[in-house]
Structure 1
């Protein structure tokens, strides 16, 4: 398979030149890893030396394998006690890391690696805590286990901070500080990974590292080379209402899905109710879709992610809850129905496609003045985003599918797609738009507080979301298609069943 420069290295370099552990090498091979990516080639040897390390590389270039290998190399299987803690900002990332570590270590006898996250029985975690070699968890649950003295840190020799920029945010910093304060061992290694490391972040994370070595493979803006980024103007008038703008955005999503070839796609929104509404509407049209947000149970979220990975779903509608770290290599289309509030979050969203050197496409729906301002902000950062052309060549982001994946894709593409009209209720049409984004921007820029003696006891800060949104600007006509096109907008009584109202307007 053709790889981008993000992960491409000399063909002669293999993992067996970096490692001697035959069980781990076998796990790497069975997991599909024979040759290391650039970040793996540079960071694994350094991490195996036991030094503290900061590793910066683009999303999708193989950072999880780096600290997975370092962790598996560090532990002693004879000691049936926790020896490594991997901290992740979200439940979904923690589960994914656990699965990667288990796969890499599948041939290591008696290896025990468990995930400790909110939404799962505390009793089960207590039973697993002190019989696991490797602990993977979110800050809130790890803090709860430490507070209740159910997790021993006596033998901890390695701590991994994944998505360190997020872990150093206001939400998690006090919890990370607390976790480190409970380490009984005086000598342990700390490694931190992120796609971005600002001066402020380096200052914050330096508290937890001693003379760290640095591995940096991000030159300029940390976007993947093979991800094509486009935008669409979605409004038809400067005076259109807020509700009409969102109707335009929904219809733009329908047109994109009907005319841009893709395997699996992710659509990002900024509100919990909108993810539910959009997923429902897509399913009604015949697109097999699911949604993930903070309002559904952990079991349901895990089930949706499993369906996505098993190719039972074609589309996932989601918030920034899973903008980071989630790796499904068939995802080659990302749509930002709502733009995020920060460039960093945008980079993580776009990074859900083009994983590990493959190719992908990201499309941004631009409607309001704020959308346009954010688009310009991205360009000022050196990110190339062009208007979506009439034709997008699938050859630019095609990949070779397995026989099973091709079968699933054929089943999805044989699904009958029927356009569903958007029926607006004019009683709820509020042209004033959504709540102020200025307040959100101010909140996003708030400086990190110094660690306080009073530690926040939030056990599920992993899932906080903001229901504010950007309003949507549209002069894009899709290619000719056999799919039925949306009918003209009509007005309907308030009690009509199929009313389309973006529900975030009222929550």
Structure 2
């Protein structure tokens, strides 16, 4: 399959040159990776040296394999205590990382990777920690386990911050700081994100020892191979109290029109309001498009079930808020619709990155149903 330039390399290098553990190498190849992407080629050797690492990786370029390979190369399988801690901003990303690492480590005897997230039983966490080499979790649950003395940090030799801009520069900063402060003095820290700025570099450097930077481009980090379109939606003049209702009615109809006209395998539709996600799901199902929605408004078990349905191709359309705008891989997604404009450029980048994963060059379109009411009714 032809792939875009941001995940292909000119060097004649295979994973055998980057990974020494033969069992891990089997897992990498079983996962479908044949040759490393640029971020994998640059970052895996540095990470294996044990240096602290700050890496900018575009969404969908294989960064989980980078820190997964570094983590699995360094663990001692005879020690059943957490030796690697990976922290991610959402439950869905944490679950996905766990699944990827379990596949990578499938040929490593007795390898154990466990996930610790909110919405699931705290009672079972102690048992999972007693048979765990790699702990993956969200900041709130990891912090709680440390405070309850259930997660022992003394054996941690590698800490990974996925989506570091969100972890350090956003609402999770206090929790992330607490976790980093509890790490042993001697450890390796790796931070990954699609977007970094000088302020974030400076903040991260406080928790790292002379970190090495892997930045493959100084341009705006936009995923290659993704075609992006803007589709205006207009409505007739109505009473201002009914404006939003009529606007969303037209957007829903426009979304169905796009689904009928654009060839696609699976689609993700992003909205800014989770209540509208429920309405759109019902509308699409009524119009023959098998759909589910995911948001923080449903239980964690329901969220896991929806993601499983999406990954097993049991639904064609997934409707969501920005809960899964970051980091989530669903292989067949090759159409993204932004029903609402995202709140910032970074969020748009992450939304768009749900398609074109690892540079796949299928037919990628990201129509944005533009909100022009402020022009029509100014």
Which TM-score band applies after superposition, normalised by the shorter structure? over 0.9
Which residue of 1 is the match for residue 206 of structure 2?
207
Q: Which residue in the other structure is 1:156 paired with?
A: 156
With normalisation by structure 2, the TM-score equals 0.96
Partner of 1:25: 25
Counterpart CA distance in 1 for 2:213 and 2:130 is: 32
8 A contact 1:268–1:318 mirrored in 2: yes
Q: Distance in 2 between matches of 1:316 and 1:218?
A: 31
The separation in 2 between residues aligned to 1:370 and 1:169, in whole angstroms, is 31
In the TM superposition, what is the alpha-carbon distance from 1:368 to its structure 2 partner?
A: 2.7
Whole-angstrom distance in 2 between the partners of 1:271 and 1:182: 36
Query: Counterpart of 1:366 in 2: which secondary structure?
Result: strand
What is residue 225 of structure 1 aligned with on the other side?
224
3-state DSSP of counterpart to 1:191:
strand
Q: Report SS of the residue matched to 2:124.
A: helix
| Residue in 2 that maps onto 1:364 | 368
- Name the CA distance, whole Å, in 2 between partners of 1:201 and 1:238: 45
SS in 2 for 1:186: coil
1:458 is aligned to: none
Deviation at 1:208, TM superposition (A): 1.4
Give runs of aligned pairs for residues 52-67 of structure 1, distance below 5 A. Answer: 52-67=52-67
Deviations 1:78-135 (A, max 9, x none): 1111100000000000000000000001000011100000011001111112321000
CA contact (8 A) 2:157 2:186 kept: yes
The RMSD of aligned alpha carbons is 1.6
Show structure 1 runs of 5+ residues with no match: 373-430, 433-507
SS at structure 2 position matched to 1:55: strand
Q: Say if 1:234 and 1:365, in contact at 8 Å, map to a contact too.
A: yes
1:70 aligns with 2:70: yes
Q: What are the ranges of 5 or more consecutive residues in structure 2 without an aligned counterpart?
A: none
What is the CA-CA distance between 1:369 and the residue it aligns to? 5.8
- How big is the shift at 1:367? 2.1
Tell me which residue corresponds to 2:9.
Answer: 9
The whole-number CA distance in structure 2 between the counterparts of 1:180 and 1:63 is 21
Q: Which protein has the larger Cα radius of gyration, Structure 1 or Structure 2?
A: 1
Match of 1:191? 190
After superposing on structure 2, the runs of 4+ consecutive aligned residues of structure 1 that deviate more than 6 Å are none
Deviation at 1:179, TM superposition (A): 0.8
1:351-500 to structure 2, matched below 5 A, reads 351-359=353-361, 360-368=364-372
Q: CA deviation at 1:243?
A: 2.0
Structure 1 match to 2:272: 270
Residue aligned with 2:43, SS: helix
Name the count of aligned residue pairs: 373
Query: Hey, what's the Cα distance between the residues in 2 that align with 1:371 and 1:209?
Result: 48
Matches within 5 A, 1:227-266: 227-237=226-236, 241-266=243-268
Query: Is contact 2:223–2:356 with CA below 8 Å preserved after alignment?
Result: yes
TM-score w.r.t. the length of structure 1 is: 0.72
Q: What is the alpha-carbon distance in structure 1 between the residues aligned to residue 308 and residue 206 of structure 2? A: 37
- Counterpart mapping for 1:124-135 below 5 A: 124-135=124-135
CA distance in 2, matches of 1:191, 1:344: 21
